[in-house]
Structure 1
Amino acid sequence: MRPRPLPSGTDLPVLLPAADRLARRAAEERRLALPRVTLDARWGAAILVTVLLSAAAAQAQSAPGQESVLATIWKWTPLVGQGFLLNIAISVVAMTCGTLLGVLLGLAQISLLAPVRAGSWFLTQFFRNAPWLVLLFYCIFMLPYRVTIAGEVIEIPNWLRATLGLTLPVMANVSEIVRGAVQSLAKGQWEAAESLAFSRGQTLRMVILPQCLKRMLPPWMNLYAILIMSTPLASIVGVEEAMTLARGALNAERRGDLLIPVYGLLLLAFFVYCYPIARATRWLERRAQVRI
């Protein structure tokens, strides 16, 4: 018996809403060239429960007379916390420098000069699509360890070179955010400014960029959340940030049962730091009423 065909125009009510939502999210991520950070408070609760359960299991397996799991973690928390502050410092410096360079590069992408547009487009695409870890390795091993200025030898620490390695992809992504925001405005804005005898610089400074702020701020904050979660990559190139210090604490204790509690606590710290950023980003999107 042949199956009866569905009537013409019949939708599948279960699959279509999810498919439509996923399609919109994929389109947004392709347009921004960034994965979208969506954090849920339930994830933080799940991480906290995992940390507590793993700590309880480690305590149950500890030998008699051995220091308790919570006391051991508490002993190393100040040191790992200092490393986490370095993660934050790297992210802030990389985001600040990358934003300044990215704005200039993004404006160069809309330049009236074809060579400037082509060169800025190439730099944007190259650093936006290059793996962040590869850029870190290049900056760590190709930049000098020390420079001599006016007879004074200045050491360049690993964290500073790693910060430069993270600045380059941030610059490229900010450039694309700026280009997309500027080109999303109606052409009439340019024509209205031209009718008032504004120069191109005045048009950008007084008309275009102020209107672009509400479009650029949510993806900019989303990019920062991605950046702070990428700073542990610096541990691979020898920067003593939170991940490196946590690994050092585990090696010093020589207790394999502390692996999940220590790294879980570090994961929870990153979540607590990024969650307000994600919530603020969603609030700004709703307030500005701009789909990104």
Structure 2
Amino acid sequence: MLPVLLAPAAPGPWGGPRLGPRHGLVLALGLVLAVGAAEAQGTAQGRPSVLATLWRWTPLLLEGFAFNIAISLLAMAIGTAAGVLLGLAQVSQAAPVRRVAWFLTQFFRNAPWLVLLFFAMFLLPFEFSVAGITVPFPGWIKATIGFALPVMANTSEIVRGAIQSIPFGQWEAAESLAFGRRQTMWMIILPQCVKRMLPPWMNLYSLVTMATVLASVVGVTEMLTLVSEVHAAEGGRPELLAPLYGYALACFFLYCYPIGRLTVRLERRFHVRT
């Protein structure tokens, strides 16, 4: 196991290239070309305008995209809370606790996300009873739990790596000042870990946001599901495929790209050499 988990290398002196504005321009150009080709094809066959069709369905598609964002935020909140506890358990002084935490981290970290999603969708109940009242358990909540499991495992590893990257002298200095282990962890070690954990945690959020489209496979009505339904509602016009899916791609890019740029800035600012 690596003694430290650092954020991926930032551009400049630390590593290779990153996404930049030119990549966004290439994506925009590709989308414009796809829409233009589809527009020309539809016009030649006397079909409604592709741009008008996209505009008409935009409110519905953006509603589905907002649902993707809501799932990603909830999954990150649940997974981060559980992952911090699991990461702290990985550095516990109790060997049984440390081993169980390590096993859970490695299991959920290396399991395919789609398998975990199916696991949550089909093994969790569709409803449960509380005091004689039947409460439904919607599919989107189960999908959120399915995404929270890998978030938990990856956050656990981020926390574990950040804690172990703090010089041991910090623990010795705290012990010399009569701090207990819990006081040292919460008042000295974890505050120093925040800047080490934040960039990889933000990268993880971008991955979770993009992975939420997997929920369409298990019947959750999110953006990709709505794209398929819109295409079917328009009679399955083949020229609409590239514009519709390109529209979805552009939405995710415009949402995740600023997060990626902010992550790069934080990596440059908080880069820690050991």
**TM-score, structure 2 normalization:** 0.91
Letter in 1 for 2:31: V
- CA offset at residue 222 of structure 1? 0.7
Letter in 2 for 1:191: E
> Does 1:194 pair with 2:178?
no
> Does 1:279 pair with 2:274?
no
Letter in 1 for 2:231: L
> Does 1:70 pair with 2:47?
no
Aligned partner of 1:91 among 72, 84, 90? 72
The CA deviation string for residues 82-130 of structure 1, in whole angstroms up to 9 with x for no partner, is 1100100000000011000000000000000000000000000000000
The CA deviation string for residues 11-49 of structure 1, in whole angstroms up to 9 with x for no partner, is xxxxxxxxxxxxxxxx966xxxxxx99433222212211
- Where structure 1 has 5 or more consecutive residues not aligned to the other structure, the ranges are 1-26, 30-35
| 3-state secondary structure, aligned to 1:240 | coil
Letter in 2 for 1:53: L
Could you list the runs of 4 or more consecutive aligned residues of structure 1 that deviate by over 4 angstroms after TM superposition? none
Per the alignment, residue 218 of structure 1 pairs with 199
1:274 & 1:59 partners in 2: Cα distance? 28
Task: For 1:233-272, list aligned pairs within 5 A.
Answer: 233-253=214-234, 254-272=236-254
> Does 1:109 pair with 2:90?
yes
Letter in 2 for 1:280: L
| 3-state secondary structure, aligned to 2:128 | strand
The CA deviation string for residues 215-241 of structure 1, in whole angstroms up to 9 with x for no partner, is 000111011011101110111010000
Label 1:291 to 1:159 Cα distance change in 2 as closer, same or farther (>3 A).
farther
| 3-state secondary structure, aligned to 1:60 | helix
Per the alignment, residue 41 of structure 2 pairs with 61
Task: For 1:62-211, list aligned pairs within 5 A.
Answer: 62=42, 63=44, 65-211=46-192
1:167 & 1:289 partners in 2: Cα distance? 27
| 3-state secondary structure, aligned to 2:179 | coil
**TM-score, structure 1 normalization:** 0.86
Larger Rg: 1
| 3-state secondary structure, aligned to 2:19 | coil
1:119 & 1:79 partners in 2: Cα distance? 45
- CA offset at residue 58 of structure 1? 1.1
Per the alignment, residue 32 of structure 1 pairs with none
- CA offset at residue 57 of structure 1? 0.9
Q: Percent identity?
A: 58
* Number of residue pairs aligned between Structure 1 and Structure 2: 261
> Does 1:48 pair with 2:35?
no
